[in-house]
Structure 1
């Protein structure tokens, strides 16, 4: 089983990169499942709407994951319950949370689960992700789901690595999102789970993690509030990773980061 995961799509430039390069990546790499994190895809860089969700799906996504900005666009409440392919963090607190925290696909007879988790360090309050993932993985194993992928949307590297080690050998892969900078630690852990601290972002490459840089610098210089706006000009980046999984064991065989930008042009 081959999985392709594209990190945090930010604003209009992020969508342009997805529409330009995702069809090429799928043609050349031939993944069976393509996952895209779309929690920053609106033009303001927060949340998603139905039109943009459909654009991501039309560009080649099989599943769209979210994160801490899942509810920033109120339109999501009108359609998230109607699609199993758009998933929010599994460990959101409260009863009757809209949508689902995971989805399950049948890929040529192999059961594949895609899960979205959110960390708790320096993030909004959520339920315990360790307890929630324990319950779900146990259920999936009983249902003979072999391939399990987790998008861990979290702020700190330590929480992402701790979760990966906690799940090592129980899931196929855990890849981090949220911090928008691709890390260089892609590897398969000792018990067979592929791990990458952060896959990186897809969108504007000249700002600060997708935002225009002047207001960000102003906030650092003055410690006063400053309105952040998504960068609409300049160079662009697409960050992703490719994961190969053994269908029989559900364990990873390899993980490879992908970076497309002016310094790393796509050559196919």
Structure 2
């Protein structure tokens, strides 16, 4: 069982951080009252492995309840569980600028009698005991969102390829282009098994159809060029901070050519160590 407590200054990027943790497979709760953390963790343990990674956000939005956080963490650690604290820090002048740009209300603004600068200072003082106990401190003053994501991945993911998911989606143009696709490739120029009587009612998952598609030199040439392009661009999308890349492969009906090509792409990147999956959206249409 793994428990990560995300905390830090308001405006430092905790919302972005919890989104990254959720993409990494953590069960996440934002703005949990500290008094409930130990109890919530007990409930997760009772799931008997169904929930194995948990990340919760506790911060100044809890008001006076926030001061219970240290005691709650000590209580959990007394059971032998190693709780990790991720603290997001940021320079005061940067936080003031961010709040003015977003026009969000700082949670300690009333305590600071309406002064944003004093609210930031008060929160820094309030959170200083937690910052001293933190396992990881990330200063986001000069970080972009994608850079923050990469810092968190570097800390908590075993490898960036495990965090990044490559999804290949076959589809039929007659049913519409999938809106979720980041890249779309049209393979309707390839020889069509639909016009072969013994192959018409099979799919690209059947070996005779797959062999028919790939025994053509044009298919093999296209596949080599496409994989060369993807081998070049996929790591760049990964570096840019995307957690998932969807590659759409379309033919007319989404049953033969696109399925065979999508299967090949999925297998190619799986062999390269990526978290790769394939979905055939239209393979069962008109059956």
TM over 0.5: no
* TM-score of the two chains, using structure 1 as the length reference: 0.31
When the two structures are superposed, what TM-score results if normalisation uses the length of structure 2? 0.29
- Computing the radius of gyration from Cα coordinates, the structure with the larger value is 2
**Structure with more strand by fraction:** 1
